[in-house]
Every structure is written in C-alpha cells, then in structure tokens.
Amino acid sequence: MRRIRSIVTMLGALPFIGGMSPVFGAPACADLENKKPELRLEYLQGQKSLLDRNCVLYAIEQLGNDHYAPAIKTLAGYLDYRKPDPPNFGSPTQPLIRGHSEWSGSIYPAGTALAQIGKPAIPQLVEVIAAASTSDLVRNTAGDVVFAIYRENPADGIAVLVEAAHKRSDPMDSLRVMDQARRQAGRCTQQGRNDCENAVLK
C-alpha cells in the first residue's frame, strides 16, 4: 500500500499560510484487505454517501496498484473524491506544514489509480473531459491524468486529446476537449513545449 504523506504541526498562534492538501498516513480498511479487485470495485459501486472514507481510499489505491481496467469507469466517477485533510488542518494554530511534490492525483487518488491503469483509461477520461455535466475540477483532473499517462512524452498525450476532440460530433464537446489539450500543453516543460504546442495545432 502506498502511503501518502505530509505533516501539519502546531506552532502557537502564528499566522497560517495554507490552502494545501496534505494527508496523514495511509487509509486502512480491514473489510477490503486481502479481497479480490472485483469485490473492491463492487464496494466503490455502492452508494457513495454511505461508504466508509478509509475503505473508499483503500479500494481506489488497491485498484490502481492492481491496474484493474474493469474499474476505469467507476474510478472516473471518483475523480473529485478528495483525501481528507489532517485533523485541525487549516487552523490558524498550525502554521508549519511539511509538504511534498504533489499533482492532482496526490489529492484525488482516483487520478493516481487511473494513471496507473494507463492508456486503457484514455477513452473514459476523454468522455469525462467532453461531458457538459463535468465540473471544471474533475475535467482538469482528468486532463492531468492523461498528461500523467503520457508523462514520458506529453506531446503524445496532447495529440491524443486533439484527435479525440476532432472526432467528437458535438462541437461543444469537441471544444471542451480541445481546451483541455491546450491547458495540458501549457504544463509541458520548456524543452518539450514546442512539441506540445505543435500537437495542439494538428
């Protein structure tokens, strides 16, 4: 099980500078330990509001570790499921926050799980990006996951989004996918920026 990290510590009543999203420890869920992926997926397909948060996070992590492709659609429905903040996080009494490198998937673990599953998740991610009903948060996270899947050559990921945009029959759907392609191109490093921008234009 991967463990996510960050520590918030208390230091008197000094000013807090925050908005970060660290998480303590690893989720644990005895009910889902040593269970098959099918059962973990089935758990996630239950009524979300009634599910135990630790078990949801545990199931998402494990499905990602197992590269369990049948869970793609369900995981996409959890792209806005956030890891909880540490106790008292955000309190003015906790001014020091030890943090690490983070990307969307660090905060929304379904993103990491879908990135681990890899390219088989792309069609579903494109659907999420294109759908009018998708929130900007989820749309951006889905785009970040596409970027992560193609992390070895982000321009290829941009090209996949552009191609998907061209194939959409609904012009608004196409526009949303193209917008995400442009957003992701803006994240490319200086060395790869030209390739990414050129991919947008194709």
Beta bridge partners of 107: none
**Identified binder of other proteins from the candidate list 50, 132, 136, 152, rule CB under 8 A:** 152
What lies within 8 Å, CB to CB, of 110 at 6+ separation is 60, 75, 76, 77, 78, 79, 81
Q: Is 180 in the site for other proteins (CB under 8 A)?
A: no
Euclidean distance between CA atoms 200 and 140, whole angstroms: 17
CB closer to other proteins out of 2 and 166: 2
Residue 153: DSSP 8-state: S
Only one of the segments 13-21, 47-55, 123-131, 163-171 lies at the binding site for other proteins (rule: CB under 8 A); that segment is 13-21
Q: Which two tokens stand for residue 200?
A: 């947008």
Q: Is 97 in the site for other proteins (CB under 8 A)?
A: yes
Q: Is 89 in the site for other proteins (CB under 8 A)?
A: no
Q: What are phi and psi of 80, to 5 degrees?
A: -110, 15
CB closer to other proteins out of 128 and 173: 128
**Identified binder of other proteins from the candidate list 138, 148, 160, 164, rule CB under 8 A:** 148
Which residues of the shown chain bind other proteins in the complex (CB under 8 A)? 1-5, 7, 9-12, 14-15, 17-21, 25-26, 33-34, 64-65, 95-107, 112, 115-116, 144, 147-148, 150-154, 187-189, 192
